Structure 1
């Protein structure tokens, strides 16, 4: 049991690192780290091979959940730009629909629903923490769009849903997310 939880935690931690690195790249959010941290410069210089390695390792450790977490992060990342045309010549909403269909057909529904709910919860928590920064620099943020009280209420509902779906996975995903953000703030 403990070995299974450890395996799942490492897989989710690795995919969380991949999501964080790619999110920064897509958002072009450097937060001046490149001037202050050699670790950050090294990571960004070799981002692609490390992301591929971490993605591969995490898929070996926890296939369905990692795939679903990654694709849900991709979908939720495009919520603010549904009409944007992407490199595959599809609009963002079309790619989101395609990924949802792939998840529905190939991933157990409870895992997909948990992954989507937990990634949305993490996004809302991140938006709560980054409210002032995102407002100052013009980044899209659900708190700035809908209000702090509304996002806290929705986040509470999402947390309850996550706990109802899988208490263990919720603790692993949220603790991994907080740990990645903590490490990221230290580099």
Structure 2
């Protein structure tokens, strides 16, 4: 790694870039699944088909800066995302829950259980916070939301548990992700959007 980048900045930069990759990919896939013909609002919509190339570029840089943090966070985001609709059959012909298990297992085999579980915990917390903040918008737009499925109090308790587990395993990554998530969301969303990360 080049000495031009201070070591203390490597993990924050890697987590920020990985967060952008996760957000852009999620927004683009949401757009494809919804078939929304509305005017361009998100960064993913503006990039269009270029999203794949830009995400690969950003992720390559992120992994170069901090391979463990970037890889486990991305795999955790994938695993958590698949967990929202576990019985959905994906293009691989596997249900989503199997891909979630494979992503988690692969992360543990490659990077160890502690980095992977801490990433899973913080990504679960981010997803739950997202659903909690978006509960009213999701209700109006008839989007799936864990708050509607489980209840507000239950989701708040799960957020506390997930953050506590993540802090116990890697407090620095936990704090960085919680600070960077709204920054990533603000950059990826257009001015007309009100949805959270």
TM over 0.5: yes
Decide which of 8, 14, 18 is 2:11's aligned counterpart: 8
**2:73 is the counterpart of 1:50:** no
Note if 1:27 corresponds to 2:42. no
The question of 1:145 aligning with 2:121 is answered: no
5+ unaligned residues in a row in structure 1: which ranges? none
Q: Who is 1:105 aligned against?
A: 109
Structure 1 CA distance, aligned partners of 2:173 and 2:47?
28
Distance 1:80 1:42, change over 3 A: closer
**2:194 match:** none
TM score, norm. by length of structure 1? 0.88
Q: Contact between 2:44 and 2:51, CA under 8 Å: does it hold in 1?
A: no
Instruction: Report the equivalent of 1:132.
Output: 136
Question: Aligned pair count?
Answer: 185
CA distance in 1, matches of 2:44, 2:97: 32
- After superposition, the C-alpha distances for 1:27-57 in whole angstroms (9 at most, x for unaligned) are 2288x89625596643234211101101111
Calculate the aligned-residue CA RMSD, in Å: 2.3
Give the TM-score taking structure 2 as reference length: 0.84
Structure 2, unpaired ranges of 5+? 192-197
More helix by share: 1
- Measured in 2, the distance between the counterparts of 1:95 and 1:45 equals 24
Which of 169, 173, 185 in structure 1 is aligned with 2:173? 169
Distance 1:36 1:96, change over 3 A: closer
Aligned equivalents of 1:81, 1:40: Cα separation in 2: 22
Whether contact under 8 Å (2:131, 2:145) holds in the other structure is: yes
Query: 1: CA distance between counterparts of 2:110 and 2:183?
Result: 30
- The separation in 2 between residues aligned to 1:151 and 1:81, in whole angstroms, is 17
